[in-house]
Structure 1
Amino acid sequence: MTLRSADTSALLVDNTSTLLIDGKLVPGSGGTFDVVNPATEEVIGQAAEATAADMDAAIDAARRAFDTTDWSRDHAFRARCLRQLCDALQSHLEELREVTIAEVGAPSMLTNGPQLAGPIEDLRYWADLVEGYAWDQDLGKATPMGIPTNRRLLKEAVGVVGAITPWNFPHQINFAKLGPALAAGNTVVLKPAPDTPWCAALVGKVIAEETDIPAGVVNVVTSTDHALGAQLSTDPRVDLISFTGSTATGRAVMAAASETLKKVFLELGGKSAFIVLDDTDIKAACSMAAFSVSVHAGQGCALSTRLLVPREKYDEAVAAAAKGMAGVGVGDPTKPGTICGPLISAKQRERVEGYLKLAVEEGGTIVTGGGRPDGLDRGYFVQPTLVAGLDNSSRVAQEEIFGPVLVILPYDGDDDAIRIANDSPYGLSGTVFGTDPARIDHVVRGVRTGTLGVNGGIWYSADAPFGGYKQSGIGREMGVAGFEEYLETKLVADLATS
């Protein structure tokens, strides 16, 4: 896939977008499909349309590469390849930035962090981990049933990984799977979301042309056909499915994978709580909540979308949150000051607008926002919106909206805040603002969620495990815990002769 900038207002992509299968860049057997810029609604090029036959070939290549090469056993080589890939991608950083902003609608400021630059640099973490990990551990001598035995614990790659990824943070999530899966010695078939195929396809091109990663170790299959994800899930040649997306789709993936009893890692939805204790600066905390839920148009599973505030300070909190949301920069994602860009598609905007209508039907009040921004006639934009007047049993407070929508809820005391936070099928993330360390610790230990930020602390890091409780998923991504999701454990017992 050759990218070039014709001018500052248009991104043109040759209609030769390709799949990566068995080390070769090949066209999709189904032709191509349109790629749309969500900020302009314009078709900006085409991506390769894979078919079931293409997916079959990719799985076969990954299986063969795992079974017949030394990839899984040569730790030093894998570490070198990961650093090589990191260097190669960094040499294409501006090209990738342009693609990411145009295809994802990501505000440009985020490409300096989790939308691009951060995940690329994280590849070095996985390379370092390969070299420092205890692949072979001595458990010492024991005498089970009186038989002297030396024991060793070996860590080995699972095998072929099917990685199915969403569109909201494509680089972050693609590399959060590719990095540890490859570091652990697996081969991978990556099926990216059809809304953001270029982010993955360009990485595939770099792998094929600028790294020593062997043929078949990484395969990239772009398609609008969601059945290809199901094909990955059911194929017995695939040993593990790593899926990030909605909880509903995660259930389907888990059910499909159960046919072959393959390992499943799921990072799913969230409806996280932003808890503001009564001993903190209410205005500052609520302004932070309003800002954070508006970033990237609220398209983040770990964003805190329920704002829990002391009942006696509810009116003050509503005013502060509304002021904060009204001040968020909405619009062109190419501009440095933009915080809230477009939603990914017309379908997603319709979904968000449906929830805003539902909020009113449920008895809520749209305090600020609630519509499309003035002056933005093109692009899938929705104003950052604050909803008040609902309780936690409402659908708008219970269901993941995936847009810049914040529901503000009153609580009565710290334990009630914990109860409301936990009154959700999800348990992915959350936030606590307060000043009393003992009260903060009580809330942190009481909320059943995989990550929690305290007073603005950032949990996002390559070495920090990320994942959720309850219906927010199974397993952890990132860190040593995420790395070990891609490993099997083998115990070797040798008869001790001396």
Structure 2
Amino acid sequence: MTAVQAEQGVLAGDPRMLIDGELVQTAGGATFDVVHPASEQVAGQAADGTVDDMGRAVAAARRAFDETDWSRDLDFRVHCLTQLHEALERNKEHLRRVLITEVGCPVSVTGSQIESPIEEVKHWTEHGRKFEYLVDNGVHDTPLGPARRKLHYEAVGVVGAITPWNVPFYLNIAETVPALIAGNTVVLKPAQLTPWSGSEYGRIVAEETDIPAGVFNVVTSNANEVGAALSADPRVDMITFTGSTATGRAILAAGASTVKKTLLELGGKSAHIVLDDADFSASLPLAAMMACVMSGQSCILPSRILLPRSRYEEGLAILKASMENFPVGDPWTPGVMQGPQISETQRQKVLGLIQSGIDSGARLITGGGVPENLPVGYFTQPTLLADVDPDSQIAQEEIFGPVLTVTPYDDDDHAVAIANNSIYGLSGEVSSADVDRAFAVATRMRTGNVTINAKSHFGIDSPFGGTKQSGLGYRNGAEGFKEYLAIKTIGMPE
């Protein structure tokens, strides 16, 4: 065990893939390094799967869907996913250490990435158990006489899930468990930077549940073409993906030739409209925290703060103090709330966008570089940029770092226009002492989700999805579950 492992709890994940019920290496045993972003040290290896490995996984999933009773035996699915929930509970501290090792997520804020998804397994299992898969739609007049119509909800088939690195275990669960309880078979392709959150999931399925061979598969790889092969494979009926809009476009194109069902949660550039009657002392420190708590690596982060000109400097002062006092450091240290960026590449992207903002006329209020006290690890200072041009790169491009941009506005109409000046429409926020006024503003924002006065829109019981180039379809809620089902309308004698 290295000094890093002994002192910080770094833990290597399972280096194998799960294909057709077996935990395997790729042919030839090729692997790739997994780096701990807080130390810049290699923590271990993951299997570097190939296009052939992906083909075997898809074939297994296709066979399991077509030739077994998985899609028809709800009681057995409930049994297996109840086992999965119990197994994840037993393994959660192990999973937590793997998550911190891969992502650099501070231990203090891992609850939303470990406990929450484990509880989601229980939620979806119960939701799937209670769901009405056959609905009587009544008797209808037809030219040939009365006909009763029934709606049969049935599994889509083979689902390919491609997940990102920012909240890997959570999204691995969110994109696969509803699909499984709905009766689909699944092939999971985890992100290249966080393969272990997928391979550990596969290990637990193989070793601690009765989920049959081929029903759930995990292929890890450091090659982009492996995920592309999953998207294009005609044996796959549906792709679910969370990640960048650029990759989402490529996935949509890859599935076009087979008219594959595609569920996409893509990029965001969310605006937080702080109205002139808002309690700045309550709303702005929370806005600063949200920018930093996941190192800014969140798709729903309201990274564009819109402040009224009448209170502009007051708001900047509060944001500056909050960001300068935010606890940044070693993710293994309790109390730390912001860890490193996922990689040096990502940190350089963030720093480059900050400089782009300055070059375009933005005023650097605080941050903008690397913390002097953290020379090792991919850390970035919490950064506040003021006077940001709404049309500039820093205001238009998703940063995925601990950066807030601030732009002044004149009135409510002006604020809404600035907020809607984006190709994205994933999330947004409004703060005001007048809830009715805030609601009126929220309904004018072209985005799939809006939070008013910190009352979060996000939850497993409510649909979550984006407008414009932020995605297609929904996760969560009854609408999210139905994404993994096809509706068959059956006409029959009354």
Task: Using structure 2 for the length normalisation, give the TM-score.
Answer: 0.97
- 8 Å CA contact 1:79–1:126 kept in 2: the answer is no
Among candidates 451, 460, 463, match of residue 462 of structure 1: 460
Please give the secondary structure, in 2, of the residue aligned with 1:34.
strand
Among candidates 137, 140, 146, match of residue 138 of structure 2: 140
CA-CA distance at 1:459 after TM superposition: 2.6
User: Residue type of the partner of 2:149?
Assistant: R
Among candidates 374, 385, 390, match of residue 383 of structure 2: 385
Whole-angstrom distance in 1 between the partners of 2:405 and 2:221:
35
Structure 1 residues 253-264: aligned runs within 5 Å: 253-264=251-262
Among candidates 327, 335, 341, match of residue 337 of structure 1: 335
Pair 1:331–1:14, CA change in 2 (3 A):
closer
Pair 1:414–1:14, CA change in 2 (3 A):
closer
Match of 1:410 in 2: 408
User: Residue type of the partner of 1:222?
Assistant: T
Match of 1:119 in 2: 117
Pair 1:141–1:404, CA change in 2 (3 A):
same
Whole-angstrom distance in 2 between the partners of 1:310 and 1:24:
59
Among candidates 342, 353, 358, match of residue 356 of structure 2: 358
Match of 2:186 in 1: 188
Match of 1:41 in 2: 40
Whole-angstrom distance in 2 between the partners of 1:15 and 1:475:
32
Structure 1 residues 300-311: aligned runs within 5 Å: 300-311=298-309
User: Residue type of the partner of 2:111?
Assistant: N
CA-CA distance at 1:343 after TM superposition: 0.3
Please give the secondary structure, in 2, of the residue aligned with 1:40.
coil
- 8 Å CA contact 1:283–1:321 kept in 2: the answer is no
User: Residue type of the partner of 1:193?
Assistant: A
User: Residue type of the partner of 1:216?
Assistant: G
Please give the secondary structure, in 1, of the residue aligned with 2:26.
coil
User: Residue type of the partner of 1:386?
Assistant: L
- 8 Å CA contact 1:48–1:222 kept in 2: the answer is yes
- 8 Å CA contact 2:283–2:454 kept in 1: the answer is no
Match of 2:217 in 1: 219
CA-CA distance at 1:435 after TM superposition: 1.2
Pair 1:415–1:238, CA change in 2 (3 A):
same
Match of 1:154 in 2: 152
CA-CA distance at 1:10 after TM superposition: 5.2
Whole-angstrom distance in 2 between the partners of 1:7 and 1:132:
45
Structure 1 residues 207-286: aligned runs within 5 Å: 207-286=205-284
Deviations 1:192-236 (A, max 9, x none): 001001111111000000001111111000000111111011110
Residue 65 (str. 1) matches residue 57 (str. 2): no
Whole-angstrom distance in 1 between the partners of 2:258 and 2:354:
41
Whole-angstrom distance in 2 between the partners of 1:195 and 1:485:
27
Whole-angstrom distance in 2 between the partners of 1:233 and 1:206:
25
Please give the secondary structure, in 1, of the residue aligned with 2:295.
helix
Among candidates 148, 168, 171, match of residue 169 of structure 2: 171
Deviations 1:145-201 (A, max 9, x none): 042322111000000001000000001111111111111110000000010011111
Deviations 1:128-156 (A, max 9, x none): 11111110011122231042322111000
Please give the secondary structure, in 1, of the residue aligned with 2:222.
coil
- 8 Å CA contact 2:238–2:261 kept in 1: the answer is yes
Whole-angstrom distance in 1 between the partners of 2:242 and 2:171:
8
* Aligned length, in residue pairs: 493
Match of 2:74 in 1: 75
- 8 Å CA contact 1:138–1:151 kept in 2: the answer is yes
CA-CA distance at 1:432 after TM superposition: 1.1
Please give the secondary structure, in 2, of the residue aligned with 1:489.
strand
- 8 Å CA contact 2:12–2:43 kept in 1: the answer is no
Whole-angstrom distance in 2 between the partners of 1:274 and 1:380:
27
Percentage of identical aligned residues: 51
CA-CA distance at 1:317 after TM superposition: 0.9
CA-CA distance at 1:428 after TM superposition: 0.5
Q: Which runs of 5+ in 1 are unaligned?
A: none
Please give the secondary structure, in 2, of the residue aligned with 1:212.
coil
CA-CA distance at 1:13 after TM superposition: 5.8
Pair 1:229–1:310, CA change in 2 (3 A):
same
Runs of at least 4 residues of structure 1 off by over 4 A?
A: 3-7, 10-16
CA-CA distance at 1:4 after TM superposition: 12
Deviations 1:294-319 (A, max 9, x none): 11110000000000111111111111
More displaced 10-residue stretch of structure 1: 263-272 or 148-157: 148-157
Task: Using structure 1 for the length normalisation, give the TM-score.
Answer: 0.96
- 8 Å CA contact 2:14–2:203 kept in 1: the answer is no
